[in-house]
Amino acid sequence: MPCYRSRDNWHSYVKKSLSETELDEMTSHLDHCSECHDVVSVIQETVCSLTKSRVDFLPPTAIKINIMMAIDKNRYVENSPSANSSQFFALKNWGLSMIAAGLLLFALNLTSLTPNFKAGQMDELHMELNKQITIPFDKMSQVANDALGKIESLIRSKHK
Amino acid sequence: MHDDEAQVILKRDAALIHTILKGNGERYDDIVERYQTGLYRTAYYYTQNVEDARDLTQDIFIKAYNNLAGFKQDSAFSTWLYRIAINHCLDWCRKKKPQYVEAAYLNNLSTEDDSPEDLFLQQEIAYEVQAAVSSLPAIYSTVLILYYFEDFSPQQIADITDTPKRTVETRLFRGRKMLRDKLHPTPSGGEGHAMLSESGQLAQLR
């Protein structure tokens, strides 16, 4: 009489990679089911014969040398906390601030908000506004650049 | 492998990876040392020649190192590493079909008691088996390599290949039958086939 038990777990059973309850239950099933017993025997015999026929190569020593030469050993150094703090000051972070400042300047130059001005008055106003706006930004930029320079030189001296 | 032994390896790998991710990249050579034999053998089963197996093994380790930050420590490192390896080997098989098959008369780790005849016989059988395994469709050869040669359980193979465990069990049954058919002696015979006769070691693959 054929056994209708699922064959899904017999390879796991042979490797003993099931819970203790499952292993016990399957072991007791094997005691009275010759069909499943044969299945397990065949798997076990195959494991034995293929393990014997397995070719165990010794990998060439060059493999390790080549790998260690190819990888960037400092790849994960930047993940350390000290390196993360220096990322905060990276120049790319300042790029967004500069874009925001540019957008602000552009918005202030919109003429559509002042339709009643004559052309000459508009130019004068633009010049005056530009002067007033660029002065503080120039100063801010200068101060920021100085600060960045000092921070980077500090970081470099720390790394040395 | 016993559970205790597996736990020790799991913890040792986790500690090593933690050290590497802290910036100590030199320690990666311990990982290479630990897994290179298994990965090289696995790559060889796919490529069937030592040059490609060596190149594949190097690529796999480099890829694993570059993606190490993405390794979630809730699974075993070996499972994660073999997932990269199997995907890489399958990609290789899709892109570059082997032009030739090379016999694996290399460093078969046999006992010193073996006579030269036994050694030769073992190498012959190993060559027959490796050729038969690699000639199977990739979905079957992969599960057979991982189960019989790399000692992974069906659940681990399911994790590596991202396949349901039930499918892995089915493929193991079918793969073994296909392997048996490949290794079964043919009526035309010949010396090589005689080794696979019923009295031979591979007759156990019935």
CATH of the domain at B123: 1.10.10.10
Does B23 sit within 8 Å of A49, measured CB to CB?
no
- Residue B196 confidence class, pLDDT cut points 50, 70, 90: very low
How many domains are contained in chain B?
Answer: 2
- Percent of chain A, pLDDT > 70? 76
pLDDT given for residue A8 in this prediction: 76
Q: Do B148 and A54 touch (CB under 8 A)?
A: yes
Statement: the pTM of the whole predicted model exceeds 0.80:
no
Q: Which residue has the higher pLDDT, B195 or B86?
A: B86
In whole angstroms, what is the distance from residue A16 CA to residue A91 CA?
57
> Looking at the partner chain, which of A12, A58, A64 has a beta carbon nearest the beta carbon of B153?
A12
d(CA B121, CA B192): 10
Among residues B86, B73, B36, the alpha carbon closest in space to that of A56 is found at B36
Claim to verify: residue B127 and residue B69 sit in the same structural domain: no
Which residue do the tokens 């994960």 mark?
A: A76
| Smallest CA–CA distance from B17 into chain A, residue | A76
- Nearest-by-CA chain A residue for B27: A73
Among candidate residues B102, B121, B146, the one where a domain is terminated: B102
Q: Quick one: B97 and B115 in the same domain? A: no
- B116 and B186 fall within a common domain: yes
Question: Backbone dihedral region of A158: left (phi > 0), alpha (psi from -120 to 50 degrees) or beta?
Answer: alpha
Q: Is A12 on the interface with B (CB under 8 A)?
A: yes
What would the pLDDT profile of B178-193 be if each residue is shown by its tens digit? 999 998 755 544 433 3
- Domain boundaries defined on chain A: 10-53, 79-159
Question: By CA distance, what is B169's nearest residue in A?
Answer: A8
User: Residue range A48-75: average pLDDT?
Assistant: 88
A9 contact B CB<8A: yes
Q: Based on the domain organization, do B97 and B117 belong to the same domain?
A: no
Q: Do B51 and B93 fall into the same domain? A: yes
Examine the domain organization and report whether B8 and B81 are in the same domain: yes
| Total beta-carbon pairs less than 8 A apart between chain A and chain B | 155
With a cut of 80, say whether residue B67 has pLDDT above it.
Answer: yes
Query: Is A69 at the interface with chain B, CB within 8 A?
Result: no
Where does a domain end: B85, B102, B119?
A: B102
Please give the share of chain B, as a percent, with pLDDT higher than 70.
79
| Identity at B198, one-letter amino acid code | E
